[in-house]
Structures are given as structure tokens and as C-alpha cells.
Chain A
Amino acid sequence: MTSTTKVMQRCALLLPLCLVIAALFLIPRAGQAEITASATLNTASFSIDQTAQLTVTVNGAKNSEIEIPDVTGLTFYRRGQRSQINIINGRYSSSISTTYLIQAHESGEYTVPPIRIVAGKTTLTTEPIPFEVLDPTASGPAHGGTAVSGNSTPDPTATGEDAFLRLLGLKQQSFIGEILPIEIKAYFRRGLRANLNSYPSLQGNGCVMPQLNEEPRQSQETINGVSYSVLTWKTALSTIKEGAHAIRLELDATLLLPQRSMSSSLFGRQSPFDDDFLDSFFGGYQKRPLRLASPEIDLEILPLPETGKPANFTGAIGAFNLHISATPEEVEIGEPLTLTMTVTGKGNFNRVEAPLFPHSSDWKTYSPSATFRADDETNHSGSKTFEQALVARTDRIQAIPSLSFSYFDPARRQYVTLTSEPVALAIRGKAAAVPRPAPASQPPPSATPKPPSSLISFTGLAPLQLEPGKPITAIKPLFQHVWFGAIIVACLVVLCLLAGLWIARRRAKNDVQGQKKQRLHRALELSLAAVTAARKTNDSQAFLAHCRAAIQQQLGILWQLEPATITRADLTQRLHPSSGLHEIFTLAEQAAYAGIKLSDEKMEEYFQTMKKELEELI
């Protein structure tokens, strides 16, 4: 093959490649449409509790910037964006559609103004779009409007409508001690996500509310066309203070608001997912604390009237019924029977006490036991049963006497006394000894209340004292008696005095030694004065004689010897061999028998040595 042929073959291979490349670059330019933009609203009218969808479409551009204008009363929420590329009959086209949700705060007529769009070097505007926002009651079936969904972002400024708290069933007047059943309802707009931080708490004086521990009942309610999730608690207030009081409830919660958009994303201000569910899943929630408060209710708490108050009134307020029964109805004397008294109705059962059995020598009575069965969650309605053991002491008894129970009816504002009919009994047999109870260590289980200690016969008690003893009027411990306190004080005073005396003696003993020291110092001073006087006269004999006398005097006091009896032998025996006093004393003794002449310097030396040695000995 020749070189020309090779070139032609290569050109033939390259040509299609060039044509393809040219087609990729040239055909789109040739087939690309002109850039246009449009905005459409999916509905011409929608209700205020719904939204409308605005779609802004840009054709002929791969990307664009859309400037949504601010409109009073409207809020625009960007939903997402969609891009599309079409090649039809060789013509290439691309479009970008951006979706927004429009939410209105007030009903009325609005217009979406022209939206400015910048695509590359081209600036476009859309046509204005008029629409109408209707009131919720005026809205019929949704005209394409979009209901608020949990994934859309609610208006944070409308939390007062999104959630609220109500206190229901509280009457405005009550009496002190009365139990007032109430219902607490917390409303949350359906679709809102919220967490409760606390149970409802009562604010205000005059009443107390038991702590709510149970989970509320959940339900759905529609108010003014708005659906709410409702949490309901049933409880009761107890009035404790008379007067006028303002009552309200408070509840702390946290609203979870999904974040609008990804502000820091690789894709700029646009969400990487372009989907709200995934945006909220990965984008998180904004927590907004919320305190709900119910409207204040004025509650007047009145005192119970004193007029007409029965003697056996124990504080029960409400509406009650009384039922009395006895089992068995046929007993022997001395056998116990159970009197059952049941109070049913509505009211403050904690103040309901057993009707008093009238005191009688024919009956032996015991303390009643009580059990309460509530019919509702608030313990306001129910029945309280009292069981009391009775023992008939005589067969004259024919019936259990009438028992009465008094309460205050707040509805009728008056006291009511219920009186039971006598309960017929048949008592047979003669008086018998009261049966002994079971040992206290193992009480037998029984349906009737166990006979209390009063039934026990205390056999084995030591007999009575036969002498009354000397009566006193007060029991005082020993330390409270004056005479005992006086003895203790006297002992302490004496001990203090003795301690003082001991201290004084110790001081005096130390003083003896001090006095001795003082004597030594004085004597040394006198002796040294005499020695100095002798030195001044330059009389060595007199100097040495005075030195000897000084040494004898000091040592005599120290050793408690007569100074004149102290000899050189004593010094040798008692003083340290290195003491300078030895030389002076020996020289002084020699001078007594032979004349010795000392120079001034020597006398001075001997004087200082003797002074130093004697002072050290003190």
C-alpha cells in the first residue's frame, strides 16, 4: 500500500469522528430554544388553612436565579427543583422548574407580582398571578389547595393558635373542703410535633391539685375546621382556703419545627435531596420551647355555714347515701357480729367517717375499719364501707339502733343528716364470758375486724397497792430539783476553790526558788562591790580576802552550808576541776598566811573570772 493510500484511509477514519464532534457542539446550538420563563399557580383560590403551589419554569437555560418578591400577608416556602432536557427531532431543549408553597396569613385577594429571573445574561420576568384566600368556614372542598402537612414548615408566629390549654368543669363557687372534679385538655394542631416537658400544674392559691402521674388520654377534635390532637387528664381540685382566687393551669412543651433549607450544603443554597422528607430527616428540627396557659378562672371559696351544722358533722361535702346492715342477724350473747355501714355518692370521701354507734351498756363496740372503692379516676365518686365489730351483752337487744351520718350538700347549700332504719336482730342465750382472743403473735386471718385489745382479759396482773403513798403534784426529774442543783453548784465551787488553792501553792513553791536566786544575786552584788572596793585601793591582801569571802558566801547559800566552813577541800569535791574558783580560793588562803602582791591586771582578771563563775552557779 502506498503512502497516499494510508493517508486517505486515516482521513476516512478521522472524518466521522470530526463529524460527530461537530454534531455534539454545533447541533445543540443550532437546535437550542430561546430562554423563556413562566410562573403558574395550581389554584385560583384556597382557604387560609391551606396552601397553594407556585411553579416557576425557566426554559432554555441550564440554571437560573429566581428572586421571589415579598408580599404582605404571604409567605413563600421553596419546595424543590426539577431539571429536564429534551432532544426532539434534533432540537435540544432544557427547562428548570422550581416549586414554592404559598401560605396566607389573612383572607383576601392577593397577586403574585412579576418574578424576576436571571438566566445567564438574560433577565426575565413572569406575569402577575391573581388569587383569592378564603376564610376557613368559607372554604368548601379544597380547590387544589394543599393542606398543611407535617413536612411543611408552619408559621412560628402562630403558636398561640397551634396549641392551647383548657380547664373544663370548674364551677365558680365552692365551699372550703369540697372536691371539684375537673378536666384538663391540651390541644395541639394536628401535624405539629411537640414534646411535653411537664404535666399540667396548677397556678393560684386556694386549691391544691394532686400530682398527675398517669398518661393522658389522646383523642382528635376539630375546632373551627382545624383538627387538633388532644391530651386529656381527669383530676380534682381540693379547696383549702376561703376567699376569691384566680386559678389557671400551665403546661411546658417543646415544638419541633423542621428546618427550611440546607444553608450549608455542597450544592449551595439548594437541598441536595430536593425533597422535604429527606431534608427533614437529615436536616433536623428546630426546638421551640412553649408554655401553654389556660385562661384564668375566678373561683370563690365560701366557708361552711355554722347555722344548722349537726353535732356529728365530720367535714363530708357532696351528695351521699347511707346503707346499714349487720351479719349475722342472729347471734348469741357475747358473740361478735359485723355492722357494715356503706356511704355511697360523690364528694370528699377522705372526710367521710363512720357513723358513731351510740354508747350503750348493752353493747361492746370496737373501732371500725374502712375501705374505699372509687368509681372514677378522680376518686370523687365511689363508696366507702365501714365494718365495725359489735358484741351484744344482753338478750334485751332487738335491733341495731338508728345511725346517722351528716354531710354538707353544696348544691342545696345546706347540711343533710341521713338516719338509717334500725336493723332487727335476734340475740339469744345467757351472758357468757367474753371469748379470749388468739395469741398476739399469730393473729388468725378473718373477714371481720380483729377484736382490739379492749376485749383481752388481763389475767395475771399483780394485785393492787393497798397504801396510797404520799401524793405529789408534779413529776420532776432529779436535776430539776433546787436542792440537787444547789449541791452540784456547791461541789463545783469547792472544787474550783481547791484548784485555786493548789495553783497558789505551786506558785509559792516556785517562788521559794526564786527568792533563793534573788538572795544569791544580792549577796553576789554585795560581795563583788566589796571586792571592787578592795581592788581600787590596790590592796592585794584585802582583794583576795574579799574574793574568798565572796566565794564562801555564794557557795554557802548554794550548798546550804555555813559560809565560814567552806574550805578548799569542799571546792575540790563539789566544783568542776576546771573552775577558775579553785585558783582564786587557793591563792586567797595562801595570802592569809603570806603576803601576795597582785598587779592590777591580775586583780582584774581574777575579778572577772570569779564574777563569771559565781554568776554561772546561780
Chain B
Amino acid sequence: MKVLHRLSLLLFICTLGISIFLPPAGRASSESRQWFMEANEAYSRHEFSLAIDLYEQIIRERGFSAEILYNLANSYAQNGEVGKAVLNYERSLKIDPTNSDTIGNLNLVRHQVGLFPQDPSLSERFFRLLSLNQWTGLGGLTLAVLTLLTAVLSVRRSATPLRTQVIIGVVSLLLISASVIGSIVRAREWHASVVVTAGARLLVSPFASAAPTGDIKEGRLVYPHKQHRDYWYVADETGRQGWISNTAIESVINNK
């Protein structure tokens, strides 16, 4: 009985660790690899525009990966296009949320251009410990382990101490609840967009002649709520709200 419990706990911890540190993996085609090398070489020669074009070509022709998006973001950053750089760093983090290079470069770029987000609250800090996929994975894994344990105990039909059952139930419930809440909180941030044009303004109404409520910096994250013709009603990281032209922002998740 004790051995079974220990094995179950060990299985739980291992799969939890895997879900958190699950790295992306895979191999690209030779042609896209060739473009990738050429783009890297252009970057090293400071031909950032050429590097951008090559990375974009790979994305159009073959798709994207966390590495390609990261390199593309670096190229945009060096080329002075902060909005595009932040956008592609964010996209790369969606695929590989724990990449320290991506996180570091994004923070560096945002810091240097003055994009300082508001200090997160305690709950926000807790839920930002894991990404959306990690919270979802944790919840799914907990459910799977709970199901397995319940099935094993049910099949054996031996009397499991009530205390053990309660502990398993409470821990599972807490983990699943935290996962669900964390997934919901992080899912709201999943559909963020980035301001990609300089000189963008937030407007009072979705019309070009509407009065502006203020400028919004290139590279700022915004969260669209609703759309009216060519304008989106957004809220930025600092809580400011207003209408912005859809040509001034680009969605981080742009599945076509």
C-alpha cells in the first residue's frame, strides 16, 4: 500500500516536471535551414533588413518556430522596429515560454524604449509563474493521476484509510482549481496585440477625426475587446482604453 502511494506520488511529480519543462523539438527541412543560415549571416553583417526578409520568407514558406521568431525579433530590434521586435518575441514565447534568451531580450528592448508595465498584483505574480500551457497541462495531469489512482483503489477494493482519500481528494481539487483559474487568467493575455507603428494614438471614437485620448508607444501590449469597422477598442498594459486603428496593431497569435 505504501509502495503504491509512493509510486503514485513519484509519477505525479515526474509528469508535473515534464509538463513545465517540456521543450520544443523537431527538425526543419534543408531548404528552410539554408534560408535560416543565410538570414543569420545577413544579421551578422548588420544587414538587418535582408535578415528580416529571409526570416519572413521562411515563415511564409515553411512556418515558424520559436527560434525563427526569436531571430526575426532580434533583427527587427536591431533595425529599429521596436513594435515588430516585441511582437515576434511575444510570439516566440508562446511556443517556448521558458526560453531565457527570449525573455531577456524582450525585457531589454522594452526597458530601453521605456515600456514599463504596471507592477502586477500578488495573484497576477502567482499565476504568471506558469504559462497558459503549463497551467492547462498541470490541470490535465492532475486529473489523469487522480483518475488512475481512483481506478486502482476501486479495482483493489481494499479499504483505503479515509484520511488518505481525503488528502488525495483535497490536493487534487486544489491543483485542478488553481490550474483552471491560472488557465483563465493567462488565456486573457493570450489574445494580446502589439502596437507596431510609431506615433499611434488612442481615440475616443472609432473615427479618424475623433479626438485622441493619448499617444501609445510602439511595442506596447494591448488587449482588444471589440471591433468597429477599421478600429479596435483596446486596453493597454497600463489600463488605458480607447480605439486604435487596426493597421497600428498586430495580434500576437495570428493563425491563418
Contact = CB atoms under 8 A, between A and B. Distances in A.
Interface of A: 177, 238, 315, 348, 350-351, 366-368, 440-441, 452-458, 460-479, 484, 487-488, 491-492, 494-495, 498, 501-502
Contacts of B24: 469-470
Contacts of B105: 461-462
A469 B82 contact: no
Contacts of B140: 478, 484, 487-488, 491
Q: Which 9 A-B pairs have the closest CB atoms?
A: A470-B26, A454-B80, A469-B65, A471-B63, A440-B114, A453-B113, A367-B199, A465-B67, A462-B101
B32 interface: yes
Given A350-B209, A453-B112, A454-B82, A472 B67 contact: no
B62 A471 contact: yes
Contacts of B65: 468-472
Contacts of A463: 101
Contact of B80 (A455, A461, A495, A502): A455
B78 A458 contact: yes
B25 interface: yes
Contact of A464 (B66, B74, B80, B146): B74
Nearest to A453: B113
A350 B208 CA distance: 9
Contacts of A462: 101, 104-105
Given A454-B81, A458-B78, A465-B71, 16 more contacts: A177-B209, A453-B80, A453-B112, A453-B114, A453-B217, A456-B112, A461-B78, A462-B104, A467-B67, A469-B65, A470-B26, A471-B26, A471-B28, A488-B143, A492-B143, A498-B151
A472 B63 contact: yes
A466 B74 CA distance: 13
A466 B77 CA distance: 18
Interface stretch (B6-14, B129-137, B233-241): B129-137
A495 B173 CA distance: 14
A396 B166 CA distance: 81
Interface in B40-91: 40, 43, 58, 62-68, 70-71, 74, 77-78, 80-82, 91
A502 B154 CA distance: 8
A461 B63 contact: no
17 contacts: A452-B218, A453-B82, A453-B114, A454-B198, A458-B77, A464-B43, A464-B74, A468-B33, A470-B26, A470-B28, A475-B91, A478-B140, A487-B144, A488-B140, A491-B146, A498-B150, A498-B151
Question: Main secondary structure on chain B at its contact with chain A?
Answer: helix
- Interface-central residue, B32, B67, B101, B104, by most chain A CB under 10 Å: B67
Contacts of A368: 199
Given A461-B74, A461-B105, A479-B183, A473 B67 contact: no
A495 B147 contact: yes
Contact of B95 (A454, A472, A487, A501): A472
B27 A470 contact: yes
B199 to A, nearest CB: 4
A476 B217 CA distance: 28
B236 to A, nearest CB: 16
Contact of A453 (B63, B94, B219): B219
Contact of B209 (A238, A457, A488): A238
Given A469-B65, A469-B67, A470-B26, A491 B82 contact: no
Nearest to B134: A478
Contacts of B146: 491, 495
Nearest to B207: A240
A444 B122 CA distance: 34
B174 interface: no
B108 A460 contact: yes
Nearest to B150: A498
Given A470-B24, A491-B147, A351 B32 contact: no
A348 B27 CA distance: 57
A393 to B, nearest CB: 13
Interface in B188-217: 190, 198-199, 208-209, 217
A315 B208 contact: yes
A496 B47 CA distance: 61
A469 B66 contact: yes
Given A350-B209, A461-B77, A470 B25 contact: yes
A468 B82 contact: no
A245 to B, nearest CB: 18
B36 interface: yes
A284 B214 CA distance: 52
B111 interface: yes
B40 A461 contact: no
Contact of A478 (B67, B137, B150, B208): B137
Interface string B88-107: 00010011000001001100
